[in-house]
């Protein structure tokens, strides 16, 4: 990695910045190796410093990203919404630069691309947009607080911290990857640390929980790998800069000099792991399968100032064009080539979507693939539970949002109702099962299943045409729900951890009366409980409310179920609240209130819950929403 | 920011936000002090709360005077602009033009109704805050803990006054807990902010936000004495039952947003200006109305979601007065009043009948209750039923006038009850009182004013509003004879109301003391409590007066409201209004007669002679069991849900601490699939290895296979 950066004569700031964001925790894991083994405090502070630095880089990236959004303006769209600042456009621009092979790599668009394994067209490609940045920042915050929460870990501290930091690197890398292969690598990288963190530092039944976690996740990721490889098999030559095709033709001709130029050009194939390109294929396939191939159009030169709005004006009365094919492509031949490929069959689309969906759904998790979650949570130590709930589950939602839907939009649209139903089943079933639990952590684990169901429902609320705005609400809600759940769920797992440190059990029936001995702790817990319940003014509400508003337009039946589940949510959380905090209990009366370190973990979560609930637009939506708007504007018109 | 000359409405924003200041101060100071190890409650925060609410009340007064001045003088559009604004809370999409469904705004809009309500809430709120300074004074220091299972304050029917058992639990000292003086005012201030925000909100979304916030404040206040199990349970019940209503509210909002792309109340009302709503089918129109009304049903404790309100009396009495009588429960009626044009004729009819059922059932339950606060709680339900019925039959002005007058006399009644409870050292069983008028005369006679007002005695505020409600109902019943019951029910219930209120007064204050020991220790409350009583009594008499005062139609408050009456969609409303005016005297006369009958019967039964032991026995039967609503709900919903939860938990996974009870578990199924696969692997290789290795090998093989596929593709 370092080598790659130094060998490039044009040092690219984006590449360094994004790589630093992804690899800083790993670097600090290496630094930890150098700390003498007795210096436990030094190790802890090293880890705190590493995660804090990562958060700082993340915040700097946020500032850069905001500047980037602000750098273009256009009177036809609101500020920060310029189409050229969307991830797709930026990734395309980088692809064009790297295809010509000339010119400088210097850029300020927060997308970096370098060949990594040229033999298999694997690129080292990183990039951020509003969607990934939300989750990157969430990860950085949760990991920092989890390290602080790990202060009580004594056994094998160095290994523990190294694994935790490696895990953070894996997650951040996965959020930042633009290349499916790279994504997969990062996705697998975080699996092993998690396995060991649960299996070595967990509770009594930790081996079982750890192996269960690994099996379920592997089951998902094998499907993911199959889907990625299937997508790699697609010939994307009409969707990439044509210079690349010419290079391939030249390569072919070198191998077989007997070929004529024209024949070589015809035979040349381009394969890619780049999900922006593959997303274009997916959209083209959707149009083709819906018999709307006349809408597939060739992109024109940007310099001419034409954009989709102009084109629409030019061809009034004709169907709305979708610019998918690369500049200079013969449209008829390209469509014929596309329809000749297996990618343009319903089976391929269904299978790949199903593989991607199941792969990510295990992580979300959806019912009935959620059983690893309660076991893993119950056995994992508190900080690992925080990361598991706060960060790892988000990878599932992120994967659905970033990969499953854009790569196979046709299948996603066909199956939208079923996906929504799966989400609603998760919401209701998770809430019911949570209500039946006696173990505090298990209850929270199932509440995660319930809350993440809103994410699935929000994504699935496919409304096209004039109603696309409702889908946008729902997708925004899904994204915000991920953020809010990340904050509240990690915080609540820490809340359980605090009381577990004092009571040494998590049996809800044996708590009670915590409000009197621990007033500060109870006050903070109350805010977090209500944030998780979706009380307006706190963060849990924004996501749920937006999802419900959007989902109603999609299917009112699903929306009603999601709305009614809020009653169940209130019931199980308040019941738990009553059993833990209210009443009088001699067993808990002597518990000391939270320590300064515990306040240091809880207070940021509490403040975030309030701030996100009161100022969602200022804090998140203003920079995250343009990306979601772009996402919806790509998929919604295809219907 | 608060440029009052261009936007005088911003005074209301300021007045709304002001109570947040003491809330934040108490929260922060409390946290810091607790962390520093100083656990005694502070009193400064409480005084700050009172001061801030008084300031809000002052601003509300200024605002109301200015508003009602301008509304006469200035053109409507200008008033609209000066007294309402909106800001984006969330705006989505890149579009620069204003498109529907692109924005969730927050904003405020002052109209006649909200200006009056705001003044009422801040005014009554200030008095109740003052009262609470006295009532909650015990909480300034450590409070002895009662034996478990029994209560502080409101215990229902604990029969002896044995000193609390020493309780070795609390760190605050032997058998005591820390005082919660500051915490009480934290909740009250937070409540005040939420309630005021609800009043000024110009859109349903913001109303919903406040709606839930007042709910959560109510949750904390009902569960204020959380040592008691019953208090925690009542708090949960209130919140969850309200959530059911809120789910309906959410549905209503989703319908409105899907159909019109806006949640602004004025914009939505404008869509329904005519009788032919655009952009929405009739069915959805009904769903929209029913959804919003369900929210109101929950908040205003109407049948079938009324069961939480009586239990909510677990909270301290000022809470009952503020939240569960004068303000929060009125929010449902207020919402129906504000969204009036959004209700289809069918929905208005539903509203009227729900009101009818509620007012009758609650009044009959109040007849037999023996806990002074529970009588008042049921009477609140019943009066809210009157308001709903009035709105349903087209008596918009009547219903909302009753909302305002009721707030004053019900707050008065609750505070008097609080004064009695305070004076009797937390006894609230009516059967053990009696003769208290000699010990606490101010309380007794101010309460008599309240009792007369709620019974509809002429020239007191309740008379004006109840008279208008009954004449609206009569007009509606005459215009739609098949719905004549909507007049008969409230008329009968007017007699019941007078009866149970006078029964309460005679039992508490009349006759001779029935518990001598209790009587001997009784004392009148301090001035900080009695002065609010006297002020409220004055308002309970005169708040609805107009000239001439003997004409119920001439109420000045009613006229102010009437000028803002929106267009409604009820059945034959024009005809009903005409008939109501024509037969106004008949309705008034009948109402008066009903009240006289009720008062007279109460005098015969409880006033003239001492109540017989039979009358004081523990009530049983249908009424005492509150028409079995709680039992039916427990059997039909609560227990079924809990069963479903346990079943799901079992199906999901055999609980380690419980047998699976013969239910196949989903987790077991997945595990056996895994085990089967592992066995298969073992069998194939006929070698016994650890499970991990099996899986790692499987993974490796799969990866190799897939990589092979990859090569195949590339070649």
Burial class (CB in 10 A: 0-12, 13-18, 19+), A541: buried
- Whether residue B171 and residue A517 make contact (CB cut-off 8 A), yes or no, is yes
Backbone Cα Rg of chain A: 25
- Whether residue B254 and residue A517 make contact (CB cut-off 8 A), yes or no, is no
Distance between CA atoms of B505 and B511, rounded to whole angstroms?
A: 10
- Whether residue A78 and residue B96 make contact (CB cut-off 8 A), yes or no, is yes
Q: How many CA atoms lie within 13 A of B410 on its CB side?
A: 33
The residue with tokens 């602004």 is B264
Q: What's B302's DSSP letter?
A: -
Distance between CA atoms of B309 and B508, rounded to whole angstroms?
A: 22
Contact residues, A window 116-155, toward B, CB-based 8 Å cutoff: 120
Nearest to B493 by CA among B385, B408, B600: B385
Token pair listed for A191:
């699996």
Q: Tell me how far CA of residue A126 lies from CA of A177, A482, B77, in angstroms.
A: 5, 22, 54
CB B432 within 8 A of CB B518: yes
Domain encompassing residue A452:
415-639
Distance between CA atoms of A550 and B103, rounded to whole angstroms?
A: 13
CA–centroid distance for A631 within its chain: 14
Write down the pLDDT at residue A4: 46
Distance between CA atoms of A636 and A454, rounded to whole angstroms?
A: 20
Distance between CA atoms of B474 and B481, rounded to whole angstroms?
A: 10
User: Does A159 have pLDDT greater than 50?
Assistant: yes
Domains contained in chain A, number: 1
Give A496's pLDDT tier (boundaries 50, 70, 90): very high
User: Is A77 within 8 Å of chain B by CB?
Assistant: yes
Q: pLDDT above 70 covers what percent of chain A?
A: 94
A409 within some domain: no
User: Is A521 within 8 Å of chain B by CB?
Assistant: no
Distance between CA atoms of A577 and A514, rounded to whole angstroms?
A: 10
A555 within some domain: yes
- Whether residue A77 and residue B101 make contact (CB cut-off 8 A), yes or no, is no
pLDDT lower than 50: segments of chain B: 148-174, 655-662, 687-688, 714-715
- Whether residue A229 and residue B713 make contact (CB cut-off 8 A), yes or no, is yes
Where do runs of H (alpha helix) occur along B74-167? 76-82, 112-135
**What is the DSSP code string of B196-244?**
HHHHHB-BHHHHHHHHHHHHHHHHHHHTSSTTSHHHHHHHHHHHHHHHH
- Whether residue A520 and residue B31 make contact (CB cut-off 8 A), yes or no, is yes
Q: Tell me how far CA of residue B533 lies from CA of A490, B58, B117, B133, B442, in angstroms.
A: 49, 20, 20, 14, 8
Write down the pLDDT at residue B156: 38
Residues of B in contact with A371 (CB under 8 A): 652-653, 666-667, 670-671
Distance between CA atoms of A86 and A82, rounded to whole angstroms?
A: 7
The contacts of residue B701 (CB under 8 Å, 6+ apart) are none
Task: Report the b/e string of A31-69 with b at 16+ CB within 10 A.
Answer: bbeebeeeeeeebbebbbebbbbbbebbeebbebbeebb
State the complex-level ipTM: 0.91
The contacts of residue A488 (CB under 8 Å, 6+ apart) are A528, A531, A532, A539, A540, A605, A609
Token pair listed for B497:
């109301």
pTM: 0.92
Give A457's pLDDT tier (boundaries 50, 70, 90): very high
Tell me the β-bridge partners of B416. none
CA–centroid distance for B274 within its chain: 32
Where do runs of H (alpha helix) occur along A555-621? 556-581, 596-614, 616
A86 within some domain: no
Top residue of A248, A369, A466, A549 to mutate, by most chain B CBs within 10 Å, is A549
Strand, coil or helix: B37: coil
**What is the DSSP code string of A428-468?**
HHHHHHHHT--BHHHHHHHHHHHHHHHHHHHHH----GGGH
A207 within some domain: no
Average model confidence (pLDDT) for chain A? 89
User: Is A464 within 8 Å of chain B by CB?
Assistant: no
Average model confidence (pLDDT) for chain B? 85
Tell me the β-bridge partners of A298. A325
- Whether residue B699 and residue A371 make contact (CB cut-off 8 A), yes or no, is no
Nearest to B385 by CA among B499, B326, B301, B464: B301
Contact residues, B window 26-65, toward A, CB-based 8 Å cutoff: 27, 30-31, 34-35, 39
- Whether residue B216 and residue A535 make contact (CB cut-off 8 A), yes or no, is yes
A132 within some domain: no
User: Is A301 within 8 Å of chain B by CB?
Assistant: no
**Dihedral sign, Cα of residue B669, residue B675, residue B679, residue B685:** positive
Token pair listed for B274:
């005519």
The neighbour count for residue B286, using CB atoms within 10 Å, is 18
Token pair listed for B10:
């911003």
A183 within some domain: no
Where do runs of H (alpha helix) occur along B18-111? 20-35, 44-73, 76-82
Q: Tell me how far CA of residue B531 lies from CA of A84, B127, B329, B436, B443, in angstroms.
A: 68, 9, 25, 19, 10
Nearest to A253 by CA among A242, A266, A240: A266
Residues of B in contact with A584 (CB under 8 A): 145, 148, 167, 169, 227
Distance between CA atoms of A353 and A412, rounded to whole angstroms?
A: 7
Write down the pLDDT at residue A565: 93
User: Is A591 within 8 Å of chain B by CB?
Assistant: no
Distance between CA atoms of A250 and A260, rounded to whole angstroms?
A: 10
Q: What's B555's DSSP letter?
A: B
Token pair listed for A546:
């937006």
A366 within some domain: no
Nearest to B131 by CA among B648, B696, B535: B535
The contacts of residue B348 (CB under 8 Å, 6+ apart) are B289, B391, B392, B393, B394, B568, B569, B570, B571
The contacts of residue A155 (CB under 8 Å, 6+ apart) are A201
Q: Tell me how far CA of residue A120 lies from CA of A115, A116, A355, A539, B703, in angstroms.
A: 10, 9, 22, 43, 16
Model confidence over A388-418: pLDDT tens digits?
999 999 999 999 999 999 999 999 999 999 9
Tell me the β-bridge partners of B204. none
The residue with tokens 């191939």 is A293
Where do runs of H (alpha helix) occur along B523-665? 527-542, 556-562, 573-582, 584-602, 613-616, 621-624, 629-633, 639-652
A130 within some domain: no
Residues of B in contact with A530 (CB under 8 A): 216
Q: 3-state SS string over A515-543?
A: CCCCHHHHHHHHHHHHHHHCCCCCHHHHH
- Distance, in angstroms, between B261 CA and closest chain A CA? 9
Residues of A in contact with B711 (CB under 8 A): none
The contacts of residue A173 (CB under 8 Å, 6+ apart) are A22, A23, A126, A182, A185, A186, A189
Model confidence over A142-158: pLDDT tens digits?
999 999 999 998 888 99
Write down the pLDDT at residue B684: 62
CA–centroid distance for B94 within its chain: 40
- Distance, in angstroms, between B502 CA and closest chain A CA? 37
Residues of A in contact with B245 (CB under 8 A): none
């Amino acid at each position: 990695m370092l080598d790659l950066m130094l060998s490039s004569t044009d040092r690219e700031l984006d590449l360094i910045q994004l790589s630093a964001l992804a690899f800083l925790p790993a670097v600090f894991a290496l630094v930890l190796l150098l700390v003498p083994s007795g210096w436990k405090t030094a190790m802890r502070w090293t880890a705190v410093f590493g995660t804090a630095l990562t958060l700082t880089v993340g915040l700097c990236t946020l500032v850069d990203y905001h500047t980037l959004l602000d750098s273009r303006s256009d009177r036809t769209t609101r500020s920060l919404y310029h189409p050229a600042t969307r991830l797709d456009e930026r990734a395309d621009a980088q692809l064009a630069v790297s295809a010509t092979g000339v010119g400088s790599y210097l850029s300020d668009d927060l997308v970096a691309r370098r060949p990594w394994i040229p033999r298999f067209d694997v690129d080292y490609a990183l990039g951020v947009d509003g969607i990934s940045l939300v989750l990157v920042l969430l990860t950085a915050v949760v990991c920092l607080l989890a390290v602080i929460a790990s202060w009580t870990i004594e056994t094998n501290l160095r290994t523990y911290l190294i694994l935790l930091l490696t895990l953070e690197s894996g997650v951040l890398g996965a959020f930042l990857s633009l290349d499916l292969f790279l994504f997969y690598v990062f996705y697998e990288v975080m699996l092993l640390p998690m396995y060991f963190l649960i299996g070595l530092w967990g509770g009594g039944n930790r081996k079982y929980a750890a192996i269960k976690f690994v099996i379920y996740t592997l089951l998902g990721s094998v499907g993911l790998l199959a889907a990625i490889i299937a997508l790699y098999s697609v010939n994307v030559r009409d969707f990439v800069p044509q210079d690349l095709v010419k290079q391939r033709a030249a390569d072919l001709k070198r191998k077989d000099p007997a070929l004529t130029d024209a024949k070589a050009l015809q035979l040349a194939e381009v394969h890619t792991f780049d999900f922006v390109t593959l997303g274009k294929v997916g959209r083209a396939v959707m149009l083709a399968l819906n018999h709307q191939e006349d809408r597939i159009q060739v992109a024109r030169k940007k310099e001419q100032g034409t954009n989709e709005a102009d084109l629409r004006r030019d061809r009034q009365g004709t169907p709305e064009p979708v610019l998918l094919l690369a500049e200079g492509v013969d449209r008829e031949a390209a469509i014929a080539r596309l329809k000749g490929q297996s990618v343009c069959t319903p089976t391929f689309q269904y299978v790949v979507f199903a593989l991607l969906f199941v792969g990510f759904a295990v992580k979300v998790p959806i019912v009935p693939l959620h059983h690893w979650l309660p076991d893993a949570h119950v056995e994992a130590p508190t900080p690992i539970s925080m990361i598991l709930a706060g960060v790892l589950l988000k990878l599932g939602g992120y994967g659905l949002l970033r990969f499953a839907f854009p790569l196979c939009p046709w299948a996603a649209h066909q199956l939208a109702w079923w996906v929504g139903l799966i989400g609603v089943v998760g919401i209701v079933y998770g809430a019911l099962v949570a209500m039946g639990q006696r173990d505090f952590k298990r209850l929270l684990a199932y509440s995660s299943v319930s809350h993440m169901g809103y994410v699935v429902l929000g994504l699935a609320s496919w409304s096209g045409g004039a109603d696309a705005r409702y889908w946008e609400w729902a997708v925004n809600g899904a994204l915000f729900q991920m953020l809010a759940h990340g904050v509240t769920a990690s915080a609540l797992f820490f809340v359980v951890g605090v009381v577990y440190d004092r009571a040494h059990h998590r049996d809800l029936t044996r708590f009670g009366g915590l409000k009197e001995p621990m007033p500060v702790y109870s006050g903070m817990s109350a805010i977090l409980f209500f944030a998780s319940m979706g009380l307006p003014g706190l963060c849990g509400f924004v996501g749920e409310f937006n999802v419900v508003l959007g989902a109603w337009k999609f299917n009112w039946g699903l929306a009603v179920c999601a709305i009614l589940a809020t009653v169940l949510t209130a019931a199980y959380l308040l019941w738990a609240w009553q059993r833990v905090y209210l009443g009088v209990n001699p067993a808990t009366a002597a518990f000391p209130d939270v320590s300064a370190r515990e306040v240091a973990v809880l207070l940021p979560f509490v403040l975030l819950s309030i701030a996100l609930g009161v100022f969602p637009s200022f804090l998140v939506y203003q920079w995250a929403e343009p990306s979601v708007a772009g996402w919806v504007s790509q998929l919604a018109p295809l219907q | 920011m608060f440029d009052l000359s261009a936007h005088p409405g911003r005074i209301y924003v300021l007045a709304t936000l002001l109570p947040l200041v003491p809330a934040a101060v108490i929260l922060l100071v409390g946290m810091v002090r607790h962390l520093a190890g100083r656990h005694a409650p502070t009193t400064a925060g409480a005084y700050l709360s009172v001061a801030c609410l008084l300031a809000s009340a002052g601003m509300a007064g200024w605002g109301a005077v200015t508003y009602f001045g301008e509304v006469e003088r200035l053109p409507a559009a200008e008033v609209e602009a000066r007294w309402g604004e909106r800001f984006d809370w969330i705006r989505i999409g890149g579009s620069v033009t204003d498109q529907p469904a692109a924005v969730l705004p927050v904003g405020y809009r002052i109209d006649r109704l909200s200006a009056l309500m705001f003044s009422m809430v801040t005014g009554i709120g200030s008095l109740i805050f003052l009262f609470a300074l006295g009532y909650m004074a015990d909480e300034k220091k450590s409070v002895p803990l009662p034996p478990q299972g029994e209560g502080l304050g409101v215990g229902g029917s604990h029969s002896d006054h044995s000193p609390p058992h020493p309780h070795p639990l609390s760190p605050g000292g032997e058998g005591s807990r820390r005082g919660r003086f500051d915490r009480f005012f934290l909740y009250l201030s937070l409540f005040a902010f939420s309630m005021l925000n609800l009043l000024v909100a110009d859109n349903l979304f913001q109303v919903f936000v406040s709606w839930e916030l007042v709910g959560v404040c109510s949750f904390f206040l009902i569960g204020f004495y959380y040592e008691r199990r019953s208090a925690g349970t009542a708090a949960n019940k209130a919140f969850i039952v309200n959530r059911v209503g809120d789910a309906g509210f959410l549905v209503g909002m989703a319908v409105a947003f899907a159909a019109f792309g806006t949640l602004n109340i004025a914009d939505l009302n404008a869509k329904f200006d005519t009788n032919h709503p655009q952009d929405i089918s009739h069915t959805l129109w009904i769903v929209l109305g029913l959804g919003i009304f369900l929210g109101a049903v929950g908040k205003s404790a109407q049948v079938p979601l009324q069961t939480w309100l009586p239990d909510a009396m677990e909270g301290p009495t000022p809470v009952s007065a503020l939240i569960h009588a004068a303000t929060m429960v009125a929010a449902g009626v207020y919402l129906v009043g504000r969204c009036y044009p959004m209700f289809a004729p069918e929905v208005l009819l539903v509203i009227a009948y729900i009101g009818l059922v509620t007012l009758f059932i609650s009044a009959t339950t109040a007849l037999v209750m023996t806990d002074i606060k529970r009588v008042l709680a049921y009477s609140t339900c019943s009066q809210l039923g009157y308001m709903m019925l009035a709105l349903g039959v087209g008596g918009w002005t009547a219903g909302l006038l009753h909302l305002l007058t009721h707030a004053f006399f019900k707050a008065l009644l609750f505070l008097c009850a609080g004064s009695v409870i305070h004076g009797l050292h937390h006894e609230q069983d009516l059967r053990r009182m009696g003769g208290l008028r000699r010990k606490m005369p101010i309380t007794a006679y101010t309460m008599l004013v309240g009792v007369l007002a709620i019974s509809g005695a002429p020239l007191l505020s309740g008379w004006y509003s109840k008279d208008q409600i009954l004449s609206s109902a009569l007009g509606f019943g005459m215009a739609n004879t098949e719905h004549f019951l909507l007049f008969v029910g409230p008329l009968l219930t007017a007699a019941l109301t007078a009866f149970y209120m006078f029964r309460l007064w005679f039992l508490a204050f009349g006759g001779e003391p029935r518990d001598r020991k209790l009587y001997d220790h009784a004392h009148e409350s301090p001035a900080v409590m009695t002065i609010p009583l006297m002020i409220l009594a004055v308002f309970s008499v005169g708040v609805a007066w107009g000239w001439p005062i003997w004409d119920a139609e001439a109420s000045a408050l009613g006229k102010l409201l009437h000028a803002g009456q929106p267009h409604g969609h009820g059945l034959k409303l024009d005809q009903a209004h005409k008939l109501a005016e024509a037969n106004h005297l008949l309705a008034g006369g009948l109402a008066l007669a009903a009240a006289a009958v009720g008062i007279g019967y109460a005098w015969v039964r409880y006033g003239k002679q001492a109540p017989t032991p039979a009358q004081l026995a523990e009530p049983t039967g249908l009424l005492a069991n509150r028409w079995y609503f709680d039992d039916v709900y427990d059997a039909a919903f609560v227990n079924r849900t809990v069963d479903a939860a346990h079943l799901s938990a079992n199906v999901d996974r055999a609980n380690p601490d419980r047998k699976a009870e013969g239910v196949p578990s989903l987790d077991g199924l997945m595990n056996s699939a895994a085990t089967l696969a592992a066995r298969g692997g073992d069998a194939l290789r006929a070698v016994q290895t650890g499970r991990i290795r099996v899986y790692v090998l499987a993974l490796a093989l799969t990866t190799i296979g897939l990589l092979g596929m990859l090569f195949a593709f590339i070649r």
